Structure formats: structure tokens, C-alpha cells
Amino acid sequence: MVDIARAVPADLPALVESAAALFAEDGGTRDPYMDTGWPAREGSEYYGGLIGSDSALCSLARDGGAVVGHLVGRVRKDELHPGLVVGVLESMRVADGGRRGGVGTALVADFLGWARGEGATRFTVSAYAANAGAIAFYRAQGFEPFEVVLRLGD
């Protein structure tokens, strides 16, 4: 049975470790300029500042005490759309052993419930265009394409 819980300060090393794995697995394989060392250098300060913040959610998924995933989300007001509160799913990872077992679905459901409680009515997540698995997962959670970022050069 997987348990989803809010990260507390004592969980910071596990959160940083999961984020570092996401950087390596996702960005590190899809973006040659991704700084995969960022979590080791800056992660403790960054995620430590989010744990316990009213406008951020840091959750860990545990299976028998072992961390098998994380989610970091935020709520923000959209300056270009007055009155709109957006829930931004900033970072999510499920370890190989926890995939296809409902862990990601539970993390997203927890995030959506929290963000709705904070007043969010729109939700966003980004994924690399080459990460078909992540795109299919988020679509299965109800997310739909809205914007496309086009790039020229490196």
C-alpha cells in the first residue's frame, strides 16, 4: 500500500534525491544542456524553502517506508488573467518499481485536491515533447494540450 504524505523538513534529503533522479532520467536524457547537478548543489535550499510553504506542495509517496516518488506543485495567480488561480505541477517522479501501480495517479489526485483547496481552477504541467509516456500519463489524468513551445537552435 502506497502512502502519500506532505514532506516535512526531515524528508528533505529524500525529496532532493528523488528530484535528482528526475533530472537525470528525464532532462538528462532529453536535453543536452540540462544541469543535472543542480539538485545536488541547489536542491536543499530550493525544496527546503518550499516545504511548509502555503503556496507550495511537496509530497512524497512511500511504499513500506521507502520513497517511491515525489510531487512538487504550486499555486499562483495569473497576472494576465485577473482572478485566475493556477495549480502548477512543477515536478513529479515515480521510481521504476512504483510505475504502473497507481502511485503517479495518487500523487496527481493529491495535488489536484490540494490546489483546488487553495482556489485553483486551472492546472498546468509541462513535459518534454519526446517523453511520450509522461504525456500519455498526464492526458490520462485529464490534462489536455493547451500551448506549444517551439524552439529554433540550441
**Residue 59 belongs to some domain of the structure:** yes
| Angstrom distance (rounded) from CA 91 to CA 114 | 15
Can you tell me whether residue 125 is helix, strand or coil?
strand
**Residue 154 belongs to some domain of the structure:** no
- Which pLDDT score, from 0 to 100, does residue 150 have? 86
Q: Where are the alpha helices (DSSP H) in the chain?
A: 12-22, 28-30, 38-50, 103-117, 132-140
- Which pLDDT score, from 0 to 100, does residue 47 have? 97
- Which pLDDT score, from 0 to 100, does residue 84 have? 93
Flag whether pLDDT at 139 surpasses 80. yes
Flag whether pLDDT at 151 surpasses 90. no
State the total domains in the chain.
1
Give the residue among 99, 111, 124, 134 at the shortest CA–CA distance from 27: 134
DSSP bridge partners of 83: none
pTM above 0.75, yes or no: yes
- Which pLDDT score, from 0 to 100, does residue 73 have? 98
- Which pLDDT score, from 0 to 100, does residue 52 have? 86
**Residue 152 belongs to some domain of the structure:** no
Please give the backbone phi and psi of residue 86, each rounded to the nearest 5 degrees, phi first.
-110, 130
25-61 tens-digit pLDDT: 988 899 999 999 999 999 999 999 999 898 999 999 9
Give the residue among 61, 62, 20 at the shortest CA–CA distance from 40: 20
**Residue 145 belongs to some domain of the structure:** no
Give me the CATH number covering residue 19: 3.40.630.30
**Residue 146 belongs to some domain of the structure:** no
- Which pLDDT score, from 0 to 100, does residue 1 have? 77
Domain that holds residue 26: 2-140
**Residue 151 belongs to some domain of the structure:** no
119-138 tens-digit pLDDT: 999 999 999 999 999 999 99
**Residue 35 belongs to some domain of the structure:** yes
**Residue 147 belongs to some domain of the structure:** no
Tell me the pLDDT of the chain averaged across its residues.
93
Quick check: 87 and 112 in contact, CB under 8 A? yes
68-94 tens-digit pLDDT: 999 999 999 988 988 899 999 999 999
35-45 tens-digit pLDDT: 999 999 999 99
Flag whether pLDDT at 21 surpasses 90. yes
H/E stretch holding 5: strand 2-6
